């Protein structure tokens, strides 16, 4: 149980031990000598990326990491060669410059804000001990604080750097810090100053030397030692002695510390990494189509180049005198020199390169920016969705990665953590088994508060019989053990009690602060039963035992670690007896319990544990041992030696702990309930209906996991369970083979899917150890994909990632991992989509995730509604962008065939450039942000509609080919209808070019309009507005007298033929798309189409019968 999150802390703990040679030496109060080699960073921080001088080069360098930009840069450069100058200087550079400038302005603004916050941060004041003085702390700017400085911090102040605590206002040296800014956890953490420095005035500490490890980003680990002047002893320092930059001092009047890491070397700054970058599947698929487009582009260019060669060859003799070619330069001195003509071969090469320049927008540069804008818009809507707001934690949905919104619509496999994700991670003490007696009859009543001084903040229901036993049965054997049991609960933990004034003056409310919700529940339970932890310092704790305050010395504490899966304390009683209390996971505890001592009790307890976990409770086993004086002294020696060791301290401490934690007497076991989050069973049911497989990966034991599986409807009674928990590789192989044959048998039995028996695979972490990294992996995969549900219990964090990888490697299924704790980080990062639950267990999961939200059940609207929308929108937008640019390029291409293959464009160069930037960019972005194929209600009512994304129906090669064929047809209509009408007429290039420009823009916008599903006012404005904007732009361009096409649009718009042609082009261009759409939607409708029609009839129904709508909603 506790391992689920205790382990995470230690998993991340620093593995390497501290050696002298690579230690950082800090001389307390002596910044000169500390920094004499100038190797330690100052405290000024700099999060800004650029300075005014480096901005331009660095920003450009970063932007050109995008391949598309390089492509356009190469084309712009090509265009500057005089032989290839297709566009004017301005027009050729404009699109790239536009894109670069927009991004640069955005970057500059962000960086300016970072500069501003850096400046504010660096100019804050801290009280720093002035050299030589004993107690004077003049204010110093943060940026001038250096390693070795002694700093005094008062309550609610932020810490300027990472400091080792020297003294605090608390006589025992305790300081409380809030690490909200660092890891987002709002509970208070306890930090201690060492006894040795507690009373020394800060000025006199000068000369003390701290040796600590090199700066690293592990915020939960710190290793150092302190050597006071004149003493040979080295005092060990650990993570509990350091306070970190970015934290705030709370509930402590003041604290004094010495700076060990400053500025960019602080742990906070080292952890200041951005969100992970992932690329969405659509974007990867899009690259395939981009390659196709490149191929088409090369074909077009080759055709033009080849034909131009043929043309030159056949006309070779004529070119000299033809007025439009004028091959020779008659005006130069050398009458035989050619003008701008280098032979057919060179002309072919030029034609090819010029064709690349003219047809460059075949590869849509604006698509990348459009996609980013669309994702921003989608993120905006997801963040603002009230249905994704969690009222209990007051948290909104968070989009941390802006690259994979559309992946949410294609998920096939969800990997979920259990604790804190499916459950609330709000632990409640439910059952106790003491000396083989089960006390789980909880009367749901609070003990009367009137006679109680101490009221725990977390209410706990108690078992009346047990309360009676504790208060009255003090003399019986059972009563004695019960008292020991609760004393163990109250002492064996790392909880800090915070005492607040209660509603009435005579009672006090105790708020138990700690990192583990399990421990909080246990301590609260102990308090409810009358063993109230009221005070904790580094050396002792005070417990109010049934109304009488008693002081216990904490002689030693072996912290929880994931190897031992238990923790222990050594407590000195007021009567000088010394006892060891141990609590831990059952399998680890039963290994160290002396079963011969009371075998009946052990057996009864095991039975209780089994029944607790079947109820879905998290279980813990408590044991104790009284230590003799000799044993204690032996232990104390080893403990002190281990904890001051510089090398291998962690390992030494573990072995000390393992040495003392043996031959324990079993006291009992506890059962803690972790309630399911709201709506989890319904959410899982919806996901299942949507064709998403749900895998649950948990650190809990098998029974607990199965029972939670039932209660959240993951497992049902008609399922056939395949359980694999074996202790060797051969056994694993055997059970896997059995499972495979069973799966095959069941599948052959049920050929018609009606009678299919759903399967559930339950596998434990032990078996996974043998399975991973061997040929058994494939067998496991075979079984796993045949199962509807997979439940993995007792899995370690890295195994979670391994399971995700198992699926990711072997299938193309989109995977999603959801979790809340640090132990889920690896899995979240491994999966295609990682979702963090911002819950009780801190924020590491959120920090590693792509999206973060407050509740598991939000997964349903997130995937089924937003995911579906995002996918449909993005898929259509990419296709449309390809189509839109291709249509334009094809129109240019047809014209080139009638210009002697010389890459002349009738459409003005400015219109070519503005086409994908202004003329047609806005509608597609707007439609991709606000259009939705189906309403939220429909999508949630029919989760199966999600299958459209899983089957990749919104974007695939078939759709791409269809839309490209459409594009060719439309370009033919756009080009040839005016061509045939204007053949042998007086039409000039500019007028025809304007007609083509308008025709293309109107046609592609109408194509978009035809595919829009919901017309709201924004869509109307965007689509019709962009046509109007195009007309205005064309008019503006044609109002410039120094352009050859001056006044053409006004002239041509005055002729009836122009309008007749425009109408003909639009109708002829749209007929195939319209007819195909009509056929597809009526005769081969997909589910989305049917659902749209249902929605439509529902709407008209609602309009006439509003009250029925309400009742159907309630029913649904």
Partner 1 sequence: MSSQAAGSSSGGSGDGGAPRRNSRKPKYSKFTQQELPACKPILTPKWVISVFVLVGIIFVPIGVVSLMASKKVVEIVDRYDDACVPDNTTDKLAYIQNSTIPKTCTRTLKVPKDMKSPIFVYYQLDNFYQNHRRYVKSRSDKQLRDASKANDTSTCDPESTINGVAIVPCGLIAWSTFNDTYVLAHNSKNLTVDKKDISWKSDREHKFGSDVFPKNFQKGSLIGGKALDPNKSLSEQEDLIVWMRTAALPTFRKLYGRIHVNLTENDTITVTLENNYNTYSFGGKKKLVLSTSTWLGGKNDFLGLAYLSVGGLCFFLAFAFTLLYLIKPRNLGDNNYLSWNRSPAGR
Which residues in the 686-715 window bind partner 1 by CB under 8 A? 686, 689
Minimum CB distance to partner 1, residue 407 (Å): 20
| 644 vs 1089 by CB, closer to partner 1 | 1089
| 368 vs 1074 by CB, closer to partner 1 | 1074
| 132 vs 503 by CB, closer to partner 1 | 503
Q: How many CB atoms lie within 10 A of CB 766?
A: 18
Beta strand 814-819 with 833-837: parallel, antiparallel or unpaired? parallel
**Which residue, among 319, 365, 71, has the nearest Cα to 902 in the 3D structure?**
319
Q: How many residues does the chain have?
A: 1116
By CB under 8 A, how many residues form the interface with partner 1?
Answer: 125
Q: Residue 943 has what DSSP assignment?
A: G
For partner 1, which stretch binds (CB under 8 A), given 174-182, 481-489, 876-884, 892-900? 892-900
For partner 1, which stretch binds (CB under 8 A), given 97-105, 477-485, 833-841, 1058-1066? 1058-1066
Binding mask 627-666 for partner 1 (x = CB under 8 A): ----------------------------------------
Task: Choose, by CB under 8 A, the member of 64, 109, 898, 1024 that binds partner 1.
Answer: 898
Task: Choose, by CB under 8 A, the member of 376, 1021, 1057, 1102 that binds partner 1.
Answer: 1057
Q: Which two tokens stand for residue 479?
A: 């009563």
Sign of CA dihedral 398, 399, 405, 411: negative
Tell me the DSSP string of 515-574. Answer: S-HHHHHHHHHHHHTTEEEEEE-SSEEEEEETTEEEEEEEEEEE---TTT-EEEEEEE-T
61 lines the binding site for partner 1 (CB under 8 A): no
Minimum CB distance to partner 1, residue 1074 (Å): 7
Q: Scanning residues 189 to 228, which ones bind partner 1 (CB under 8 A)?
A: none
Binding mask 914-943 for partner 1 (x = CB under 8 A): ----------------x-x---xx--xxx-
Specify which residues 256 forms β-bridges with. Answer: 152, 167
**Which residue, among 695, 899, 672, 848, has the nearest Cα to 783 in the 3D structure?**
695
Minimum CB distance to partner 1, residue 391 (Å): 4
| 113 vs 756 by CB, closer to partner 1 | 756
| 394 vs 600 by CB, closer to partner 1 | 394
284 lines the binding site for partner 1 (CB under 8 A): no
Specify which residues 630 forms β-bridges with. Answer: none
Minimum CB distance to partner 1, residue 347 (Å): 11
Across 743-787, the runs of DSSP E, i.e. the strands, are: 759-764
Exposure letters 1000-1037 (e unless 16+ CB within 10 A, then b): bbbbbbbbbbeebeeeeeebeebbeebbebbbebbeeb
| Interaxial angle between packed helices 344-358 and 281-314, expressed in degrees from 0 to 180 and rounded to the nearest 10 | 150
Minimum CB distance to partner 1, residue 935 (Å): 8
Q: Are 356 and 78 a contacting pair, CB within 8 Å? A: yes
Q: Which two tokens stand for residue 418?
A: 């259990």
Task: Choose, by CB under 8 A, the member of 336, 596, 748, 754 that binds partner 1.
Answer: 754
Q: Which two tokens stand for residue 116?
A: 């501003």
Tell me the DSSP string of 823-880. Answer: GGHHHHHHSSEEEEE-SSS-SHHHHH-SEEES-GGGHHIIIIIIIHHHHHHHHHHHHH
Binding mask 964-993 for partner 1 (x = CB under 8 A): -------------x-xxxxxxxxxxxxxxx
Q: Scanning residues 494 to 523, which ones bind partner 1 (CB under 8 A)?
A: none
| 112 vs 1015 by CB, closer to partner 1 | 1015
Q: Are 498 and 251 a contacting pair, CB within 8 Å? A: yes
Q: Which two tokens stand for residue 1068?
A: 């002829």
Task: Choose, by CB under 8 A, the member of 944, 958, 961, 1036 that binds partner 1.
Answer: 944
Q: Scanning residues 304 to 323, which ones bind partner 1 (CB under 8 A)?
A: 315, 318-323
Minimum CB distance to partner 1, residue 440 (Å): 29
| 313 vs 1077 by CB, closer to partner 1 | 1077
Q: Scanning residues 566 to 585, which ones bind partner 1 (CB under 8 A)?
A: none
What is the biggest distance separating any 2 CA atoms in the chain, rounded to whole angstroms?
A: 127
Assess whether 417 carries a catalytic annotation: yes
Minimum CB distance to partner 1, residue 445 (Å): 26
Minimum CB distance to partner 1, residue 1039 (Å): 9
Q: Which two tokens stand for residue 988?
A: 């000039």
Q: Scanning residues 231 to 250, which ones bind partner 1 (CB under 8 A)?
A: none
747 lines the binding site for partner 1 (CB under 8 A): no
| Among 4, 111, 417, 1038, the one annotated catalytic | 417
Cα–Cα distances in angstroms (integers) from residue 591 to residues 163, 566, 570, in the given order: 41, 11, 20
| 474 vs 1085 by CB, closer to partner 1 | 1085
Q: Residue 14 has what DSSP assignment?
A: -
| 381 vs 710 by CB, closer to partner 1 | 381
Q: Scanning residues 840 to 869, which ones bind partner 1 (CB under 8 A)?
A: 855, 857-858, 860-861, 869
Q: Scanning residues 868 to 887, which ones bind partner 1 (CB under 8 A)?
A: 869
Binding mask 1025-1044 for partner 1 (x = CB under 8 A): ----------------xxxx
Minimum CB distance to partner 1, residue 965 (Å): 19
| 259 vs 1066 by CB, closer to partner 1 | 1066
| 595 vs 958 by CB, closer to partner 1 | 958
1016 lines the binding site for partner 1 (CB under 8 A): yes
**Which residue, among 827, 834, 808, 517, has the nearest Cα to 697 in the 3D structure?**
827
Based on the number of CB atoms within 10 Å of its own CB, is 943 exposed (0-12), middle (13-18) or buried (19 or more)?
A: buried
Q: Residue 446 has what DSSP assignment?
A: P
**Which residue, among 974, 993, 1086, has the nearest Cα to 1046 in the 3D structure?**
993
Q: Scanning residues 339 to 398, which ones bind partner 1 (CB under 8 A)?
A: 339-340, 380-381, 383-387, 389, 391, 394-396
Q: Are 845 and 836 a contacting pair, CB within 8 Å? A: yes
Q: How far apart are CA 532 and CA 327, in angstroms?
A: 103
36 lines the binding site for partner 1 (CB under 8 A): no
> What is the rounded radius of gyration, in angstroms, for the C-alpha atoms of the chain?
37
Minimum CB distance to partner 1, residue 326 (Å): 6
Based on the number of CB atoms within 10 Å of its own CB, is 492 exposed (0-12), middle (13-18) or buried (19 or more)?
A: buried
Minimum CB distance to partner 1, residue 835 (Å): 17
Torsion region of 397: left, alpha or beta (phi above 0 gives left; psi -120 to 50 gives alpha): beta
587 lines the binding site for partner 1 (CB under 8 A): no
| 606 vs 931 by CB, closer to partner 1 | 931
Q: Scanning residues 1066 to 1105, which ones bind partner 1 (CB under 8 A)?
A: 1067-1068, 1071, 1074-1075, 1077-1079, 1081-1083, 1085-1087, 1090-1099
Q: How many CB atoms lie within 10 A of CB 107?
A: 17
Q: How far apart are CA 401 and CA 399, in angstroms?
A: 6
| Interaxial angle between packed helices 517-528 and 477-491, expressed in degrees from 0 to 180 and rounded to the nearest 10 | 140
Q: How far apart are CA 779 and CA 799, in angstroms?
A: 17
Minimum CB distance to partner 1, residue 352 (Å): 14
For partner 1, which stretch binds (CB under 8 A), given 175-183, 537-545, 634-642, 1065-1073? 1065-1073
Minimum CB distance to partner 1, residue 1063 (Å): 8
For partner 1, which stretch binds (CB under 8 A), given 293-301, 528-536, 761-769, 896-904? 896-904
CB neighbour list of residue 899: distance below 8 Å, 6 or more residues apart: none
**Could you list the active site residues?**
417
């Amino acid at each position: 149980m506790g391992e689920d999150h205790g382990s995470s802390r230690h998993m991340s703990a620093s593995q390497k031990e501290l050696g002298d040679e690579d230690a950082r030496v800090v001389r307390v109060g002596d910044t000169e000598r500390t920094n004499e080699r100038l190797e330690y960073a100052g405290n000024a921080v700099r999060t800004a990326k650029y300075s005014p001088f480096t901005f331009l080069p660095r920003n450009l360098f970063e932007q050109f990491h995008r391949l598309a930009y390089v492509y356009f840069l190469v084309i712009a450069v090509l265009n500057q060669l005089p032989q290839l100058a297709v566009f004017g200087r301005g027009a050729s550079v404009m699109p790239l410059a536009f894109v670069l400038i927009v991004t640069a302005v955005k970057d500059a603004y962000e960086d300016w804000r970072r500069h501003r916050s850096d400046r504010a941060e660096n100019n804050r004041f801290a009280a720093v001990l002035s050299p030589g003085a004993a107690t004077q702390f003049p204010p110093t700017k943060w940026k001038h604080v250096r390693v070795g400085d002694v700093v005094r911090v008062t309550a609610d102040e932020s810490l300027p750097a990472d400091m080792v605590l020297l003294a605090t206002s608390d006589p025992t040296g305790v300081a409380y810090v809030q690490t909200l800014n660092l890891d987002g956890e709002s509970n208070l953490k306890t930090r201690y100053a060492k006894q040795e420095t507690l009373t020394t005035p800060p000025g006199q500490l000068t000369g003390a030397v701290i040796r600590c490890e090199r700066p690293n980003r592990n915020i939960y680990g710190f290793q150092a030692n302190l050597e006071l002047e004149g003493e040979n002893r080295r005092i060990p320092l650990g993570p509990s002695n350091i306070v970190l930059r970015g934290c705030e001092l709370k509930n402590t009047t003041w604290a004094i510390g010495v700076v060990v890491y400053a500025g960019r070397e602080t742990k906070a700054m080292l952890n200041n990494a951005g969100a992970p970058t992932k690329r969405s599947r659509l974007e990867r698929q899009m690259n395939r189509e981009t390659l196709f487009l490149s191929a088409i582009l090369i074909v077009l260019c080759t055709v033009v180049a080849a034909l131009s060669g043929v043309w030159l060859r056949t006309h070779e003799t004529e070119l000299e005198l033809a007025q439009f070619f004028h091959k020779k330069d008659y005006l130069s001195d050398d009458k035989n020199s050619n003008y701008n003509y280098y032979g057919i071969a060179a002309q072919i090469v030029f034609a090819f390169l010029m064709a690349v320049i003219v047809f460059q927008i075949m590869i849509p540069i604006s698509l990348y920016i459009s996609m980013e804008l669309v994702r921003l818009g989608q993120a905006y809507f997801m963040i603002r969705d009230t249905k994704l707001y969690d009222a209990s934690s007051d948290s909104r949905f968070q989009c941390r990665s802006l690259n994979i919104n559309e992946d949410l619509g294609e998920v096939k496999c969800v990997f979920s953590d259990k604790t804190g994700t499916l459950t609330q991670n709000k632990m409640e003490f439910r059952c106790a088994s003491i000396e083989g007696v089960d006390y789980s009859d909880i009367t749901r009543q609070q003990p009367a508060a009137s006679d109680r001084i101490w009221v725990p903040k977390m209410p706990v229901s108690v078992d009346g019989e047990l309360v009676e036993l504790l208060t009255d049965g003090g003399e019986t054997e059972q009563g004695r053990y019960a008292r020991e049991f609760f004393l163990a609960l109250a002492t064996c933990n790392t909880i800090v009690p915070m005492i607040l004034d209660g509603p009435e003056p005579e009672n006090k409310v105790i708020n138990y602060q700690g990192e583990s919700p399990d421990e909080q529940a246990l301590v609260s339970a102990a308090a409810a039963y009358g063993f109230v932890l009221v005070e904790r310092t580094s050396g002792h704790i005070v417990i109010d035992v049934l109304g009488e305050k008693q002081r216990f010395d904490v002689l030693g504490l072996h912290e929880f670690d994931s190897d031992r899966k238990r923790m222990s304390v050594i407590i000195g009683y007021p009567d000088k007896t010394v006892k060891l209390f141990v609590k831990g996971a059952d399998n680890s505890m039963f290994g160290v319990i002396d079963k011969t001592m009371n075998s009946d009790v052990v057996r009864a307890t095991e039975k209780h544990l089994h029944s607790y976990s079947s109820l879905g409770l998290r279980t813990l086993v408590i044991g104790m041992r009284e230590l003799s004086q000799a044993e204690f002294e032996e232990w104390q020696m080893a403990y002190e030696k281990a904890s001051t060791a510089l090398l291998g301290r962690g390992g030494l401490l573990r072995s000390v702990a393992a040495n003392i934690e043996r031959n324990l007497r079993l006291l009992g076991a506890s059962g803690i309930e972790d309630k399911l989050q709201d709506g989890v069973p319904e959410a899982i049911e919806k996901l299942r209906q949507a064709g998403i497989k749900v895998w649950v990966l948990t650190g809990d034991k098998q029974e607990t996991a199965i029972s939670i599986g039932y209660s959240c409807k993951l497992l049902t009674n008609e399922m056939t369970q395949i359980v694999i928990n074996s202790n060797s590789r051969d056994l694993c192989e055997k059970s896997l083979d059995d499972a495979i044959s069973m799966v095959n048998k069941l599948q052959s039995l049920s050929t018609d899917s009606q009678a299919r028996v759903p399967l559930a695979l339950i596998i434990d972490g032990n078996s996974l150890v043998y399975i991973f990294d061997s040929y058994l992996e494939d067998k496991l995969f075979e079984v796993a994909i045949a199962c509807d549900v997979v439940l993995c219990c007792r899995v370690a964090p890295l195994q979670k990632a391994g399971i995700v990888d198992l699926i990711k490697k072997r299938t193309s299924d989109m995977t999603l991992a959801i979790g809340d704790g640090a132990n889920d980080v690896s899995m979240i990062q491994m999966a295609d989509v990682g979702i963090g639950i911002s819950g009780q267990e801190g924020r590491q999961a959120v920090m590693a995730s792509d999206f973060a939200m407050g509740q598991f059940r939000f997964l349903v609207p997130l995937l089924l509604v937003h995911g579906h929308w995002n996918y449909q929108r993005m898929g259509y937008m990419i296709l449309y962008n390809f189509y839109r640019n291709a249509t334009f390029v094809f129109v240019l291409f047809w014209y080139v065939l009638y210009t002697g293959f010389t890459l002349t464009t009738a459409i003005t160069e400015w219109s070519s450039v503005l086409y994908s930037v202004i003329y047609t960019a806005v509608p597609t972005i707007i439609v991709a942000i606000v259009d939705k194929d189906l309403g939220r209600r429909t999508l949630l009512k029919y989760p199966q509609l999600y299958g459209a994304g899983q089957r990749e129906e919104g974007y695939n090669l078939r759709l791409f080919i269809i839309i490209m064929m459409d594009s060719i047809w439309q370009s033919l209509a756009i080009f040839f209808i005016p061509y045939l009408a204007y053949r042998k007429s007086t039409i000039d290039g500019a007028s025809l070019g304007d007609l083509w420009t308008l025709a293309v823009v109107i046609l592609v916008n109408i194509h978009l309009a035809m595919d829009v599903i919901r017309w709201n006012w924004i869509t109307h404005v965007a689509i019709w507005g962009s046509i109007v904007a195009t007309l205005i732009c064309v008019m503006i361009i044609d109002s410039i007298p120094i352009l050859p096409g001056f006044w053409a649009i006004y002239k041509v718009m005055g002729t009836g033929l122009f309008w007749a042609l425009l109408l003909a082009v639009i109708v002829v261009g749209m007929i195939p798309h319209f007819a195909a759409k009509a056929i597809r939607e009526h005769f081969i409708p997909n589910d989305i189409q049917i659902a749209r029609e249902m929605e439509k009839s529902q709407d008209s129904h609602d309009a006439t019968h509003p009250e029925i709508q309400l009742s159907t909603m309630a029913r649904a």
